[in-house]
Amino acid sequence: MICRELEIKEGGGTARLSCCMHEAYPKLPDSGRRPCILICPGGAYARTSDREADNVAAKCLAFGYQTAVLRYSTAPAVFPTALCQLGRAVALLREHEEEWHIHPDRIAVMGFSAGGHLTASLGNFWNRPFLSELLGLPANILRPNAQILCYPVITGGAWGHRESFQNLLGPGPEGEDPERWFLSRCEELSMEGQVGPDTPPTFLWHCTPDETVPAMNSLLMAEALFAAKIPVELHLYGTGGHALGTADRLSRSIDGRGVAPECAGWMELCHTWLEGIWARTELRKRPE
């Protein structure tokens, strides 16, 4: 295994990128450059959850992926600090593609809850001029090839998770009506309204009994992706709740929460979906 810890200093904050990569073994098939999954834990932009980090990476490694976990800056850091850190992390993975045996055109970003909002933000904003200017990097270096949104915070509207947006935005400028400013910024950063033709293919899953981040967040995002003709796959589970992570014992909390066997198959479904995305990408690249 190749294991690396890197600091990312962007936007006045410091993030930690923890990488765990398979070595390349010439005598083993498919052991050269591999797809990579970059994981953004949730935590309402107040923290990054331990239950949606290394344990998720361990299962991704078992599927044969290279992995990285981003512990991005949270409150009091405000937008776009975490977004800049995520963009820099994707660029670093491509910068080290040879050393870490990463396929540069198969980098997927996976986000949970507020980390799903962060992931969707990069998926929608990777080619916006403001991000390239802040990072001093060309947009194509920042682009995720796929995104995986796990019970994500998406909207700042009626179905939104207010705490996440409050932490993301901070108190706002002096002299403005706080609520009016907050609602305006929520609308700007509601990801269902930012989907465009360059948003990457997307996998979503959510539990309908989720009382923290309503499943309508995933439904709104799926609808927007479908309307924009972006490849999308959505799985809704009729049981479970929020903050499930792997949904098996690897994500079990101290008090026993976080285990939902009916939902644990989401990672296998996601793996199958990703393999299909990579296959279709290769077909498009082949000359006629």
Domain boundaries, the chain: 2-21+31-278
pLDDT at residue 20, as a whole number: 97
pLDDT at residue 288, as a whole number: 44
Sign of the torsion formed by the C-alpha atoms of 162, 89, 234 and 53: negative
pLDDT at residue 285, as a whole number: 57
d(CA 59, CA 248): 11
Sign of the torsion formed by the C-alpha atoms of 135, 6, 102 and 234: negative
Residues 6+ away with beta carbon under 8 Å from 235: 204, 205, 206, 266, 269
Mean pLDDT, residues 274-288: 74
| AA identity, residue 119 | T
- pLDDT 10s digits, 158-168: 999 999 999 99
- pLDDT 10s digits, 36-79: 999 999 999 999 999 999 999 999 999 999 999 999 999 999 99
- pLDDT 10s digits, 211-261: 999 999 999 999 999 999 999 999 999 999 999 999 999 898 888 788 899
Give the residue, 111 or 287, on which the prediction is more confident: 111
- In this structure, are residues 178 and 172 in contact, taking their beta carbons and an 8 Å threshold? yes
- Token digits of residue 30: 């498919």
Mean pLDDT, residues 24-35: 82
- Token digits of residue 81: 């600090």
* Closest residue by Cα to residue 176 from 165, 185, 167: 185
d(CA 19, CA 5): 6
- In this structure, are residues 66 and 100 in contact, taking their beta carbons and an 8 Å threshold? yes
pLDDT at 80 over 50: yes
Rounded to two decimals, what is the model's pTM?
0.95
Please report the beta strands in 42-127, taking only residues with DSSP state E, as ranges in sequence order. 66-71, 102-112
pLDDT at residue 232, as a whole number: 98
- In this structure, are residues 142 and 87 in contact, taking their beta carbons and an 8 Å threshold? yes
Residues 6+ away with beta carbon under 8 Å from 279: none
Q: Which CATH number fits domain 2-21+31-278: 3.40.50.1820, 3.40.309.10, 3.40.50.1220, 3.90.380.10?
A: 3.40.50.1820
Q: How many C-beta atoms surround the C-beta of residue 198 within 10 A? A: 15
Counting every residue, how long is the chain? 288
pLDDT at residue 287, as a whole number: 45
